[in-house]
Amino acid sequence: MAGLYRLYHDKHNPPADFTHISFHGKTILITGATSGLGFEAALKFLQQGVSSLIISSRDYARGQQTQKELESRTGRRGVVEVYPLDMSSFQSVVEFAARVNTELLSSGRRLDVVVLNAGVMHRNFVCSEDGWEDTLQVNTLSTALLAELLLPTLQRYNSEQVIAEGDVPHLVIVSSGTALRVRRKDLLPPPSLSSSSSHPLLDYLNQPSTRKKYAISKLLIEYVSRSIADQTINPNGSLNVIINTVKPGLCASALGRQYTTRWYGRLAAGMFNWLFARSAEVGGRVLVSACVQGYESHGRMWKGDGVFDETGTLLGKEGKALKDQAWKEVSDVLQAQSSKFNVSLDVR
């Protein structure tokens, strides 16, 4: 009951809409912007003056439709660019990042904000073309790979003057409150796998029988984002980029559509969302607000009205060993992709 009360409270007490913030002169990239929270965030960026907005779409035609809708609703043409991206494919991620990095460099543009919002929630076991369970690949592995590939461009044009002006680039990774409810027992691989695998955690999550795949994938991307955040702190304690995650809360969107294929599922979901879910617009404002948080949000989870208190969760002290293990296993996968596609990654 306490959980339902929190959902009800959050629905009726939405966070502030940061409409006073201007994104004029900035280049922003957001994945998963063709619907839901990503679309609403893209809309807000345009309404608040962003000079260049890059959105991704697995279906390029759908991306073009989204571009037209964004232009129609804001009256701003020539601002939105659509790049194809399939997060279920490491090759697509590498090609997308290469295009972003090359085109921004050739045009002399900075990359000011990256919002990695694309994600999936599968009801059944789905295997990606790279052999990974698709939830794990999209929400964790491909997101981590894309973050690492874009990080040098985010930091490329930084300087002491930029830092002094408080104009530090942001890397925002969309997480989920479900990550906070994962317990250590949910991450225990069978003894046979623990002794035989060099990556027991990822291999365990890659099995059809593993439960809570979505929540665990979000916990892992929390670990990844914090590990990257730790590595980007300069020796003098300064930052060239602010890296945070964001928990938008329960929002009405198409993310869980595979769970509502039957009429009674749609009815139940509709009633539940009516009672407890925020609108996608409110979720979008949480994403946007994460992009303007200061140094105190680096390596932390933003929830719309502050950073999250991690006490008693696997994001706190209890999860330190898990974080180190998860980062080692994920970074091994990233290094393998770096070698396969001949791209440079600063993964430590």
**214 is annotated as an active-site residue:** yes
CA 279 from centre of chain? 19
98 phi/psi in degrees, rounded to 5: -60, -40
Marked catalytic residue, from 213, 218, 303, 323? 218
Tell me the residue type at 161: Q
Marked catalytic residue, from 175, 227, 297, 331? 175
Q: For residue 156, what are the CA distances in angstroms to 84, 109, 204?
A: 24, 10, 37
**218 is annotated as an active-site residue:** yes
DSSP for 44-71? HHHHTT-SEEEEEESSHHHHHHHHHHHH
Angle of helix 2-12 relative to helix 263-276, nearest 10 degrees, comes to 70
Marked catalytic residue, from 214, 227, 331, 338? 214
Which residue, 210, 206, 162, is CA-closest to 182? 210
End-to-end Cα distance, the chain: 43
Burial tier of 16 (Cβ tally within 10 Å: 0-12, 13-18, 19+): exposed
Rg (CA), the chain: 19
Angle of helix 320-341 relative to helix 213-231, nearest 10 degrees, comes to 80
| Residues assigned a catalytic role | 175, 214, 218
